[in-house]
Amino acid sequence: MQRPPGITTVAILYFISGGLSLATSSSAMVAGSWLTAIAARPGYLSPLLVRASAFRGEYAFWFGLFGTGASLFKLVAATGLWTLQPWAWRLAMIGGALKLVTHLVAVTRGAITTAGVAGALVNAAILVYLSTPHVRRALSGVPDSDVTDDVPTTTP
């Protein structure tokens, strides 16, 4: 089956956002490790800042590690969507749903921004699109010749 243009668009969006998230998360891990290492050096920081720097460094490292895992998850989903793998639909739905939940949590805490609203709308649109029958059929792994259209056939 030929890849529908919408799946191509979603895969490209996932590749771009997954790549940018991977770069950001990796930078957070590096910065967190650096902050923790600086805090461990005696005399390098004021004693008042050592504990806070160490805590923030460890915090940044673990958030970066979590973000790296989420970015790799998104890149794997993008690869599966690009190659029309049957498992890609499930990964994309899980990733989109989790991202939508994070936007909704931000709304409930009053921390939503214009970019957050746009992100929530894009994620909701992707979830709706991935739920359409022709997308599910394209990602089902069933060859075109085995797929029957939803048009009823008449028998003479």
Residue 80 confidence (pLDDT) above 90: yes
pLDDT tens digit sequence for 21-71: 899 988 888 887 777 777 676 766 666 566 666 667 777 788 888 888 888
Over residues 67-93, the mean pLDDT reads 92
What confidence score (pLDDT) does residue 109 get? 82
What confidence score (pLDDT) does residue 112 get? 79
Mean pLDDT of the chain: 82
Residue 151 confidence (pLDDT) above 70: no
Residue that wins the pLDDT comparison between 72 and 105:
72
Rounded Cα–Cα distance for residues 128 and 79 (Å):
20
Between the two ends of the chain, the Cα-to-Cα distance in Å is 31
What's the pTM value of the predicted model, to 2 decimals?
Answer: 0.75
